[in-house]
Chain A
Amino acid sequence: MNRRNFLGLGVGAGAAAALAACGSSGPSGGSSSGGSSGGGGAASYWSLSGPPGEPVRQAAIDRFNKANPDSKITPTFFQNDAYKQKIKTSLGANQGPTMIWGWGGGGLKEYVDSNLVEDLTGWLGENAAVKDKILASSFGAATVNGKIYALPVETVQPIVLFYNKKVFEKVGVQPPQSWGEIMALVPKFNAAKIAPFSLGGQSRWTNMMWLEFLLDRTAGSEVFDRVFAGEKDAWSDPAVLDMLTKIQDLVKANGFQKGFSSTTADSNADQALLYTGKAAMMLHGSWSYGIQVSNGGNFVKDGGLGWMNFPAVEGGKGDPSNTVGNPGQYLSISSKATAEAKDVAKKFFSTTLVDDDEKAGWVKSGGVPVLKNSESLFTGGDAQFLKDMAGIANGAKVFAQSWDQALSPTAAETLLDNIAKLFQLQVSPQQWVDSMNGVIGK
């Protein structure tokens, strides 16, 4: 064989190796965690990386593995956006994990429609003690067509209005108690060269939180329920037009920081605006508290951060106790997993995930657990925040799931796209309603 032929072979082999490498796109951390190959009493678990969640998740798995030496769970953690891609691709290729972490709602329904997850209704019926330990309101987003396909885990995360107390003091104003007061505060903060609200507009779901609360406060939760149920022209409610007009009024009054539509929430730039005092208020999920604590220096410790439920709208029909957010996080069992792996997962569900250490771990991370009776654990510097969050979550007449999680990914994308255009003043409220009516039920 001469040299040239040899080189050609080398390149060919390289190409073959590259091809082979593309075939096995399994998880990076686990060893044998393919859902379909996880036999022998081993189960795999995929979830999100990073604090505050990852250490608590890892601790739960360590506890389980220690108590059950012959049935190991292998965890793999991914970043938020990477996980959303990864889990979809691997489930489609039958390479998914035994336990699938998710947000419930429309995403879970898509798994159910493709027969990818186990129906847990019967199992929870037999293990009523497990079900009893979890807040009943968390099961809504785990239920598809009357059947439960996921176990609510981790924390309840309502969306609340955060504000910077120091900035309010400096400008000499009080936190708003109504929509009218919000609009009255806007010019005062602008005059003081402080953005009234911080908004990570490029992430789009951040803008959506405004629509969720404003629609609920003006019309109650029924309007979105009709959209969710797939009723024809459900967005054509006068309250929707009213709500959309209010939002555009706020945008036109410079209610959000300059350049809000290019600010991303993933980089926590919106959070930074609040603790640096460049913005006075921010509507965001309760997880923001942890970010303000860890990124804001002494901001929270010095009592700079305030929080409240979204205020009422004058003349609105909605109950001001209502809230929106994540009623929990959700763990499903892959229907493609082996019987042994499924048993390991169920044992994990019925023991470790509902034990006292799990509850204490999530409280310590700054969250309100989905497990009942956690109030006695709220102590130390975060106690007031945790008490208030539990109060909002438990006191809410309706705890609605975030729209983009409740809807199917297809409908959610159209929703987010139109919301971005609404904030950009690119579409009128009527155009918004027309294009959203077009995707109802899709």
Chain B
Amino acid sequence: MTAAAQRVRGGNVAWMALPAFLMFLAFGVVPLLGVLALSFTTWNGIGEIVPSGTTSWRATLSDPGLPHALWVTFLIMALSWAVQTPMSILIGVFIAGRKRYREFLAVLFFIPLLLSSAAIAITYKSLLDPSFGLGSGLGIDALNQDWLGNATLAMATLIFIVSWQFIPFHSLIYQGAVRQIPTSMYEAAQIDGAGRWKQFWSITLPQLKYTIITSSTLMVVGSLTFFDLIYVLTAGGPGDATRALALLMYQQGFQANLMGPASAIAVILVLVGLVLSLVLRRLGGRADESQLEGA
């Protein structure tokens, strides 16, 4: 490393982070403190903001809607993780191969990544409509289920659409990670007589450990903030079957005009997110441990 490069690494790095830090301060930290302050007030969104101590917190914590929304949130988180992770790893490993047809397929896989959540939700909602959707259009009765109007089916449909939307992104991460695994490890394994299956379990998967953690963190924390997709698809319904925390917050704040309790839910949402990402980081172990044992 040259002396100049060393200087860039040391002194100038903090200065380069300044714009990002200022943005984070203005649009992340300041609103967060504002929400924390609002959670100790009573406000209908248009009138005066009245400090009211823990009234909003007591209302929020005693609302049976809160544990239900937490349950729905964790269910969406767990199920979408369990569906997305194996699929993404498999697709990532597949498209990491340097063959022409795989690269062509990789391009196709990424199409959902180009679409906005709202567009995806509107499209699926129309396709799944029991009266005017795909099922009645093609006359296939099996497709003519009450996809978004039945509590269990609505949750399953939601997980499917979330996975459809985000698997391409995580596959992209895994593709990059697989391509970084030194080929010498596979060559050594081949000499030792390990087959493709054995190579996948003993080399690829352990080598992807940090990628799995990164991708899982993104999935888990990301699933906390699902709003647009659920709002357009089911609006939290039927009943409250898909009302996750973010939707409960919106409902309380902008439909019931209860900004205090809505802010309290927002604080809970932030805390859950922070705890989850800390736990996932811990799971990752020390960042400087070697990954090349046995190579």
Do A and B come from the same complex?
yes
* B19 and A259 contact, CB distance less than 8 A: no
* A269 and B132 contact, CB distance less than 8 A: yes
Is B200 on the interface with A (CB-CB < 8 A)? no
* B146 and A8 contact, CB distance less than 8 A: no
* A272 and B234 contact, CB distance less than 8 A: no
User: Nearest Cβ in chain A — how far from B154, in angstroms?
Assistant: 7
Total inter-chain residue pairs, C-beta < 8 Å: 117
Is A19 on the interface with B (CB-CB < 8 A)? yes
* B12 and A4 contact, CB distance less than 8 A: yes
Most buried by B among A261, A262, A278, A417: A262
Residues of A within 8 A of B16 (CB): 4, 8
Is A92 on the interface with B (CB-CB < 8 A)? yes
Distance in angstroms between the alpha carbons of A424 and B151 in the assembled complex? 9
Residues of B within 8 A of A15 (CB): 19, 22-23, 26
A8 interface neighbour in B18, B47, B144, Cβ under 8 Å: B18
User: Nearest Cβ in chain B — how far from A197, in angstroms?
Assistant: 13
Distance in angstroms between the alpha carbons of A269 and B148 in the assembled complex? 15
Which residues of A from 84 to 111 have beta carbons under 8 Å from B? 85, 88-89, 91-92, 110-111
User: Nearest Cβ in chain B — how far from A253, in angstroms?
Assistant: 16
Give the size category of A's interface with B: 35 or more
Segment among B32-40, B189-197, B236-244 that sits at the interface with chain A: B236-244
Distance in angstroms between the alpha carbons of A51 and B154 in the assembled complex? 34
Distance in angstroms between the alpha carbons of A413 and B149 in the assembled complex? 20
* B129 and A259 contact, CB distance less than 8 A: yes
Distance in angstroms between the alpha carbons of A4 and B17 in the assembled complex? 12
Least CB separation from B19: chain A residue = A11
User: Nearest Cβ in chain A — how far from B72, in angstroms?
Assistant: 14
Residues of A within 8 A of B239 (CB): 261, 420-421, 424, 426
Least CB separation from A427: chain B residue = B239
B146 interface neighbour in A92, A262, A413, Cβ under 8 Å: A262
User: Nearest Cβ in chain B — how far from A422, in angstroms?
Assistant: 9
Is A258 on the interface with B (CB-CB < 8 A)? yes
A88-B46, A417-B240, A424-B151 known; A202 vs B146 contact (CB < 8 Å): no
Chain A interface residues toward B at CB < 8 A: 4, 8, 11-12, 15, 19, 85, 88-89, 91-92, 110-111, 113-114, 116, 195, 201-202, 257-264, 269, 272-273, 278, 408-410, 412-414, 417, 420-421, 424, 426
Could you list 7 A-B pairs, sorted by A, with CB under 8 Å?
A: A15-B23, A88-B254, A195-B131, A262-B129, A269-B132, A417-B251, A426-B239
Return the 7 tightest CB-CB contacts between A and B, nearest first.
A114-B47, A262-B148, A413-B256, A259-B130, A424-B239, A11-B19, A261-B238
